[in-house]
Structures are given as structure tokens and as C-alpha cells.
Amino acid sequence: MCSRRCPSIPTCVSPKARARSRFFPSKDFVSRPGTSSRGRSTRLRSAASMQRPSPMFAVCLWLLLGACAGEGGEKSIPSVDLAALEPALARRIELAVAELRGDPDGAESWKRLGLLYESNDYLGLAAECYREAIERRSAPELWYRLGIALSSAGLREQAAEAMARCVELEDGYAPAHWRLGSYRFDLNEFEAAEHSFRKALEADPKHLGGWSGLARVQLQRGEGEEAVETLESALKVKPGAPLVRKLLRSAYFEAGRLAEARALHVPWERIGSMGGDPWQREIRSLRRKTPMELALERLLTRDYQGVVDVMEPFVRENPRDPNAYAYLASGYNGLGRGGLARQTIATALEKDADSIVLLRVLAALHRGANELPQALEVLTRILEIDGLDLDAWRQKGDLEARAGRDADALESWQRIVRFDERDDELLLRIARTQLRLERWTDAQGTFERLIRLGAQRASACTGLAEALVALGRADEARRILERAPELDPGGEALRRRLAGETEPGRDG
């Protein structure tokens, strides 16, 4: 038993908060990752926060407690007051601690307990478990978890050190480079942050975190045009990404392109994922799901009554959340209660008339009822608010095509391919529409583009040949069909017809 007296936690901390972590301030005491912004020091704290335990106090307490444990010759297992927890969580922690007692030298046992603590915001306990796991096996994914836990506790310098060790061991994991870049950015180490973001893009050119991080560095330096170029490249990787659109608006302002900035109205919307992160799967599986996550899960499995059961009380508690109304209306609609779904959306639009989320659901309700003019009107409204909403452009084009408005559909679809040049199915629809409108030269160019992409080859060869025939270039069309590795039935028929026209006695 340790004879030293360890510092007690200040009396201003409630018993419930004290149970959260013996070592670091809980999530109530520190800012979450990414809360710093340009022009504001991450070291500034409010008067209230100055009464709370500081990270330095937490680290000292951690070291002293470790010394106390060491005097007894036996490593203590970090734990909390189980009586203060929900029974289910207490039982899970109890089982994980028991498993660790049976395998105190196993890195995986320490990691599993750390994951359980981290998923419930016991960040100091999680960090200690990850350090113990690293002592037994210095693996990149363990350093990754330690870095995230330290960052969530507000200890960015230590988090950056841990994440730097992670990328030393595994240089090809883009999310680790992105997180390291984010930590360095918040520490005002902009050159190092830029290096990390570029490393993330080297590892995965589709990782939005790398693109957005690089743009943030450029904006910090006042390089507006460079940031615009970076973000436009990101939109080609993932068209319509919410975070990219938000940053692009800022970049337009920075570059002095005020008209474009004002035209790009970006309402509130969930940021979404930065990119795939397999090392986060374990922690996600342990975290308690939010009502929104439960609603989405049930919506995807068509459990519409389950959606309603979750969202009705949530809407009552959060009457200004447009996403809550959107989920609730979708649940009502799935149950065949279309009138109630529309009433729900109308109520929400009274609070936020420019909510893209609500307008999308309203457009879907009109589309499901085959009310094409009303659906098109709502989609037009969405595009007035956000001209880069590529999904709205696609839906608008599809509805215009259904209504027989081929020229309008063509214009809507072409808005999309400006940002997503490799959508071969959409390119094929554009090319066929150009044929129907007898825009032969445009159709030729689109079909040739498809062939260069190596996509839709059979249909593209047939369409290109049709366009060339219409332009009076039958010999070229014949050669294309003869050399094509495969043809669809229309292409075979055209090839036979063109071959027949060159038989003896058929050439005039």
C-alpha cells in the first residue's frame, strides 16, 4: 500500500465529474478537437475553466499515482467508482478489468479496456491503458489511439507527439497524417501541418481531410487563390462535400471573389466523414448511439415505426433541429402517413426556410407522389440556395427527363460532370440525350470521352458510330464498329447495315 498522500481533486469538481477520470480533465473541462480557429489562441480560457483542473495538474496526478502503484510492486489497473455508473457500463468495465487481471502482460487486454474507457469519455484512464499497451507492443494503431485520447483531453502537444510516433511506424495511413496535421495546425505549427496534410494526400488522394487541411493552411497564410484551387480539386474527388463547400466560400472571400462567395450560400449541414478510417471502427462499435444515428440505422432497414419512436421525443426536446424533423417526416412517410410527413416539414420550414435537409425531404415527398412540377420547384429552390448541390442537380435532371424536357435535363446533368468527370453512367445518359436532340457533334465528343475512360465501351462505340453517320462520316463509323472489342445489339445492327452498303452493286 502506498504511504504517500496523492493530491486530492479540487473540491469544485463534482463527485460525478471526479468519477470520469483520475488523470485528465473530462470532456466538460476541455475543448473538443478542432475547436480552435484562426485569430484565436487555443490557450485562452474562460474564468470558469480557470477553476477547473488543468492538464498540467492532471499529468502530475497521473505520475504521482503511478509512483504510488509502483511502491507496492504490482501495477494497479485504472478504474472508476463503479457504483457511480450505469449498471450496464459498470458491468462491462468490471468484466474488462477481470480479463486484464488474468492477462496483465497482454497488450490487447490493455487496449480493450482503454477502448471502453475512451468510448465513455474517461480519457485519462484510456490514455493510461494505451500507454501500458504500448509498453508491451509498440504498434502504430496503439499510438494512434493514444494520440486521439490525448487530443480529446485537450493535450495537443502530447497528442502530436503520439501521432508523430504513429506515422513513423506506419507512413501510409492517411487518417494519421491528417490528425497529426490538425494537431500541428492548432499548435500554430503551420509549415509542419502542411507537410502532414500533403502526406495524407500522398497516402490517399481521396482523403478529404488532407484537402481541407491544406486549404486551411493556405487560408491562414492569406493565399486565397491557392485555397480555391485546392478546394476545387477536392470537389472533383468528392462532389458536394459539405466541409469543402464551406471552406470554398471562405476561400472566395479571401481571394476577393465576392460575387462567387455570396452566390455560394452554404446552410448548416453535418460535415460528414473526412475519409475512411478503419482504425476507428472498434471505438465506434463501443460508443453509445445518438438518437440521430439510431434513426438513420432504422431508416436504412425500413423500420419506420422505430424511426418515429426515436424521433418524436427527440423533436419535442430539440424543436429547432432540422435534421430531427427530416428523420421524423421520413418515418411518417414510410408508414404511409404522407399528410403528417408534409405537416412536419412545413412546421420545420417555418423555423428555417432555407434548410437544405428539409427541402430535400419535401422534394422526395413530392417525387414519391409523382408530383413532378412541385418536386422540380423545390429542387430549384435548393439550387438557388446552394448551386453546388450536385445531388439536387441530378434529381432535377432526372425529373426533367421524365417530363420530356430533354434540353433542360441535359443542362442539369452537365452541371454535375463539371465536377465529376468520371461518372460514366451519367455521361452515357448525356450522350444519348444529345443524340435525341440531334446535337451530333456534342454527342460525338461525349462518346469519345467515354471511350477514353474505358467505360461503357459497347454502348459508347454504338453511340459514336450513330453520331458519325449523322455527320456524314459513315466510313469512320464503320471502322469504329469493326474494331470494337464488343458491341451491343444496336451496334451489331448498325455494323451489318453499314457493311451492306459497301457490298458490290450497293455503292452507286
pLDDT digits (tens, 9 = 90+) for 141-196: 999 999 999 998 889 999 999 999 999 999 999 999 999 999 999 999 999 999 99
Q: How confident is the model at residue 69 (pLDDT cuts 50, 70, 90)?
A: very low
The closest alpha carbon to 184, from 168, 170, 208, 164, belongs to 164
Mean model confidence pLDDT for the chain: 81
The closest alpha carbon to 107, from 80, 136, 76, belongs to 136
> How far apart are alpha carbons 85 and 117 in whole angstroms?
12
pLDDT in tens, 363-407: 999 999 999 999 999 999 999 888 878 889 999 999 999 999 999
Average pLDDT of span 327-354: 95
More confident residue, 378 or 59: 378
- The answer on pLDDT for 418 being more than 70 is yes
The closest alpha carbon to 167, from 212, 202, 205, belongs to 202
pLDDT at 455: 67
Q: How confident is the model at residue 13 (pLDDT cuts 50, 70, 90)?
A: very low
Assigned architecture for domain 15-43+52-204: Alpha Horseshoe (1.25)
> How far apart are alpha carbons 40 and 193 in whole angstroms?
17
Considering the entire predicted model, what is its pTM? 0.54
Distance from chain centroid for Cα 284:
14
- Contact present, 295 and 265 (Cβ < 8 Å): no
- The answer on pLDDT for 43 being more than 50 is no
pLDDT at 52: 36
Residues of CATH 1.25.40.10 domain(s) within the chain?
A: 15-43+52-204, 289-369, 429-508
> How far apart are alpha carbons 116 and 498 in whole angstroms?
70
- The answer on pLDDT for 126 being more than 80 is yes
Taking CB atoms within 8 Å and a gap of at least 24, the contacts of 279-283 are 279/141, 279/144, 279/145, 279/173, 279/175, 280/175, 282/115, 283/115, 283/118, 283/119, 283/145
429-508 maps to which CATH number?
Answer: 1.25.40.10
- The answer on pLDDT for 102 being more than 70 is yes
> How far apart are alpha carbons 119 and 126 in whole angstroms?
9
- The answer on pLDDT for 48 being more than 90 is no
Residue type, 445: G
Q: Could you give the 3-state DSSP secondary structure of residue 141?
A: helix
Assigned architecture for domain 289-369: Alpha Horseshoe (1.25)
